[in-house]
Amino acid sequence: MSALNCSAIFSELNAPWERNRSRLVGLALWHRRRDSYNRRPVSAPRRPSPGKAPQIVHSMRALGKHDLPATIDVGGVTYRHQRTHKHDFWAVTGFYASESGQRAVLKMSRTTDFAGLPLEWIGRWLCRREMRFYQRLSDLPNVPSLLGTVGSTGFVHAYAEGKPLSKERPVPDHFFDQLTELLRQLHGRDMAYVDANKPENILVGNDGKPHLIDFQISFDLHDLGGDWWFTRYMLRKLQAEDFYHVLKHKRKLRPDLMNSHELADAERTSGLIKFHRIITTPYFRLRRRTFKRLRESGRLLPDGSK
């Protein structure tokens, strides 16, 4: 075989390798980088150095650097602070007790500025707004009575004896029927509870009856400009969602008591709920990640915003 023919054959055999060499080299480099990344040790959450105190992000707390008062005087009775239940961005809630054992709950809305913006005016508005709901429901035994105010953004209500809805505690057979009736009474006053999706806001009282707390995001015809067609429309929609959330709790905790009609209603998802999820889901995901990083770095107190 001539040298010319050998060279031609070698060139023909080598052509596929020449065409794919750059691809193969690139693939090998990618595998090398991937293996190097997989061997990299997982870094632990950043912690402040031992000799340096962490800089707390007090702006994430409703009262900033301040805590709830040690004592409060309401209606001639002195209450002492027992513990803070939750201190988040918009409000802080604490449990108090008098010397005679009478218990009360203090809720204070935001007083601290954020990013240079004064927000105490929103705290005053939130306080007055929630007090309005408690006052309108003051004759219902299933809603804690309003006892008084503390400062410009705080109010005190009676302590409701009971525990939040939970799988760990038994729910009486009559509970959800009574809860539905309680919401009907509330709706009859042109109000919507709105926060029934949170089981911690629905208490199983020591008397076995339902009790409602936390009316921060409740709705009535005073909102959005008063009594007109749009507020009436929103009120009907929100009242329907109150019953929907009750059925969801019932399906989770007492499915043995549900009939076929209730099961079907509990499966539906209204357009209002779908819209709410589209709007709020990205926001809450970002908020949770931000607060998690702040806690891991030691810059947010344990009782900071959830």
List b or e across 170-188, with b for residues whose CB sees 16 or more CB atoms inside 10 angstroms: ebeeebbeebeebbeebbe
| Residue 140 within any structural domain of the chain | yes
- State the pLDDT confidence band at 285, using cuts at 50, 70 and 90: confident
CATH number, position 182: 1.10.510.10
| Residue 275 within any structural domain of the chain | no
Q: What is the pLDDT of residues 235-280, one digit of tens each?
A: 999 999 999 999 999 999 999 999 999 999 998 888 777 777 787 7
Task: State pTM to two decimals.
Answer: 0.77
List b or e across 40-71, with b for residues whose CB sees 16 or more CB atoms inside 10 angstroms: eeeeeeeeeeeeeeeebbeebbbbeeeebbee
Tokens representing 271 are 């357009």
Pair 100, 171 in one domain: no
| Residue 3 within any structural domain of the chain | no
| pLDDT reading at 46 higher than 60 | no
| Residue 75 within any structural domain of the chain | yes
Closest CA to 89 of 116, 122, 129, 132: 122
Q: What is the pLDDT of residues 48-96, one digit of tens each?
A: 555 555 566 788 899 999 999 999 999 999 999 999 999 999 999 999 9
Pair 236, 247 in one domain: yes
Pair 138, 77 in one domain: yes
For 259, other C-beta atoms within 10 Å of its C-beta total 8
CA distance 197 to 301: 27
Q: 240: Cβ–Cβ under 8 A, 6 or more apart, which residues?
A: 270
Q: End of a domain among 127, 159, 191?
A: 159
CB 219 within 8 A of CB 240: no
| Residue 220 within any structural domain of the chain | yes
Pair 131, 209 in one domain: no
| Residue 260 within any structural domain of the chain | yes
| Residue 41 within any structural domain of the chain | no
| Residue 1 within any structural domain of the chain | no
Q: Which domain holds residue 86?
A: 51-159
Q: End of a domain among 159, 181, 202?
A: 159
Pair 77, 134 in one domain: yes
